Amino acid sequence: MTGTDWDRRVGLGATTGTDWGRLIDFDREHVWHPYAPSPLATASLPVVAASGVRLELPDGRQLIDGMASWWTAVHGYRHPVIDAAVREQLSRLPHVMFGGLTHAPAVQLAERLVSMAPAGLEHVFFADSGSVSVEVALKVCLQYQRNNGHPERRKFLALEGGYHGDTLGAMSVCDPVGGMHRLWTGVVTEQVFAPRPPARSEDRAQWAATIHGLASQHAGKLAAVVAEPLVQGAGGMWFYDPACLSTLREVCDRHGLLLVLDEIATGFGRTGTLFASSAAGVLPDVMCVGKALTGGDMSLAAMLCTGEVARVASGGEAGCLMHGPTYMANPLACAAGLASTELLLSGQWERDVRRIEKGLLESLGPARRVPGVKDVRVLGAIGVVQLDHPVDVASATRDAVARGVWLRPFRDLVYTMPPYITNDEDVAAIGEAVVAAAAAG
Ligand SMILES: *Cc1c(COP(=O)(O)O)cnc(C)c1O
């Protein structure tokens, strides 16, 4: 559908004063969208407003957002507490440089994160996106090893099936096939990859032997192990046995490696515990958070590390951590983060995530009988239907939209990560739309 078709169909220009036809056409021709060509092959769907779990389209139609805007809007859109915090901050100090200056929202959010995070993570670096926080995590590990007398420890042991962001350093630790490393030979640093951690505990011993073997073979040049705990998200929505995290900790302890856990997707309750690593009681040396940190209002991420990592990485020749984003610790984003984490402190998220898990288990069940469906899996507020073929994104999306639900499938996956406030009726509607989209795609 072109912009003009859209405009004609819904007759918008006249009622809203916005020439949607022109806007959508310019968007399609000139504006780059995530993982898309430019010009776009398919026109984007315009959104004019959002409230609670619903997105509003220019023609007044409402869609339940089964994606929570890429896993960020855990409390729903325009939550009054987050809204008020951002407005209040806007009236005082929307931004100020963080070099040499500081402000309450940053310090208070750092205190909050330290109190919520697994024990020992006491130093906080604010970054403006998840990918950047991963870059910072990698740098911290490299500076730590160098200052500990191991400049030769420059590589990372990462997991197949992983995803850590789109900047070059983060890309290097993403799944080499899914991350298309063959396009980037000689550009992206070659890292050491271990097989995907298994879902079934019966398969763990063999996997553990493999990763222990890889670590001892490469230990002399490895700085750290990098992994998403429990759920590998954008690399394929793979769930794995929590005990594998203990194996990663053992590998690190045996060979003097740091353990970096990327909780950007899993953090803040998504898998049923506040942080996914808590499910195994494993303590990382370095942790990244992002996505749900501000409840979806603004881009903010953070790298947390232990006192020992901060102390050693800050020493040496550089005498500092070599990173400092222009918009570091943006006060508006920090205010949103404070409000969002405050909402989490009530503990309601835990009951909601359990309730959504139950709802998704029920509503996604019928997908098992859909031809072309290979697997159905649910963990916390994550529901996944995996097909035996690449999904036809356009037709799957169209089918879901026709049912009043927004989904954004990728690869062979139709999935949902809804806001925690999604009520039972809406969870059921999302589940039905996922099943229908899986059948259509
Ligand atoms: C989304 C994501 C990132 C990247 O975050 P951006 O904010 O998109 O840069 C990194 N790691 C994981 C696990 C993610 O899910």
Question: Per-residue DSSP letters for 183-241?
Answer: GGTTTSPP-EEEPPPPSSGGGHHHHHHHHHHHHHHHGGGEEEEEE-SSEE-TTT-EE--
Side-chain-facing half-sphere of 198: CA atoms under 13 Å: 13
Residue range 340-347: mean pLDDT, rounded: 97
Distance of CA 118 to the CA centre of its chain: 18
Q: Is 89 in the pocket of ligand 1 (CB under 6 A)?
A: no
Q: Is 269 in the pocket of ligand 1 (CB under 6 A)?
A: no
Express each pLDDT in 99-112 by its tens digit: 999 999 999 999 99
Per the residue annotation, which of 7, 65, 241, 262 is the catalytic one? 262
Q: Is the pLDDT of residue 14 over 50?
A: no
The CA distances from residue 203 to 74, 206, 330, in Å, are 33, 6, 45
Q: Is 165 in the pocket of ligand 1 (CB under 6 A)?
A: yes
Where b means 16+ CB within 10 Å and e means fewer, 71-92 reads bbbbbbbebeebeebbeebeee
Express each pLDDT in 191-217 by its tens digit: 999 999 999 999 999 999 999 999 999
Q: Is the pLDDT of residue 7 over 50?
A: no
Q: What angle do CA 27, 412, 417 make, to 5 degrees?
A: 70
Per the residue annotation, which of 77, 144, 163, 415 is the catalytic one? 163
Is 35 an annotated catalytic residue? yes
Q: Is the pLDDT of residue 262 over 60?
A: yes
Residue range 292-304: mean pLDDT, rounded: 97
d(CA 438, CA 415): 9
Express each pLDDT in 228-258 by its tens digit: 999 999 999 999 999 999 999 999 999 999 9
- Could you tell me the pLDDT band of residue 5, with boundaries at 50, 70 and 90? low
Per the residue annotation, which of 7, 291, 399, 426 is the catalytic one? 291
* SS3 at position 243: helix
Q: Is 127 in the pocket of ligand 1 (CB under 6 A)?
A: no
Q: Is 228 in the pocket of ligand 1 (CB under 6 A)?
A: yes
Helix axes 104-116, 331-345, angle to 10 degrees: 40
Q: Is the pLDDT of residue 299 over 80?
A: yes
Is 327 an annotated catalytic residue? no
Please enumerate in sequence order all residues whose Cβ is within 8 A of that of 156, keeping only pairs 6 or more positions apart, or say none: 138, 141, 172, 173, 191, 192, 222, 223, 224, 225, 226, 260
d(CA 376, CA 72): 23
Is 262 an annotated catalytic residue? yes
Q: Is the pLDDT of residue 408 over 80?
A: yes
d(CA 192, CA 74): 34
Atom of ligand 1 nearest to the CA of 170: 10
Element (H, E) at 387: strand 382-387
Q: What mean pLDDT, rounded, does the chain reach? A: 95
Q: Is 290 in the pocket of ligand 1 (CB under 6 A)?
A: yes
pLDDT computed for residue 361 by the predictor:
98
Pocket mutation for ligand 1, best pick of 128, 129, 131 (most atoms within 8 Å of C-beta) = 131
